[in-house]
Amino acid sequence: MKKTFTALTILCLFVCFGCKQEADIDLRDRYIGRYDLTVTSAFTVANTSGPLIMATNTDFLYVSKGEQLTELRFEFSKKTLVASLKGEGKFDIAPQTSKVYMYSTGTEYLQNFNGEGSFTGNRVTLRLTSKTDFVATQSKEEMTIKGDKLP
């Protein structure tokens, strides 16, 4: 009887404390890394019809952990944006401002970003909208960003 009790006690201790607890798992770990991107942009200026510039470029996205347990940092094209995970691989990019340098004029201006996206397996999809007030002109850029995680 004493041996059975001891064996059951050890088994209970192993089950309770031997397994990794849910709080120890950081769900952001699966998204951390570098992604090879294709960025499609449509750039419009206020009071014009249709996009002035449509472009497709390649870039890299670096994903790292944010300060909060539900945050990820996205770094690409000299921009750093913070995304909030919403569950099942979905995320939002709350409105935030990033400085942008225009090489042709040598000036710096602010872009206001917001967006949403998702991770599906090793693939990221992101839709971003940025608005800018530059030299008394309002512009808007809509970007669709897709990419695969690199090994």
Of residues 63 and 105, the one with the higher pLDDT is: 63
> Could you confirm whether domain 27-149 is CATH 2.40.160?
yes
**Predicted local confidence at residue 50, as pLDDT:** 73
Give the residue extent of every domain in the chain. 27-149
**Predicted local confidence at residue 143, as pLDDT:** 93
How many other C-beta atoms lie within 10 A of the C-beta of residue 133? 13
Per-residue pLDDT tens for 56-80?
999 999 999 999 999 999 999 888 8
Choose the weakest-confidence range: 68-77, 121-130, 133-142.
133-142
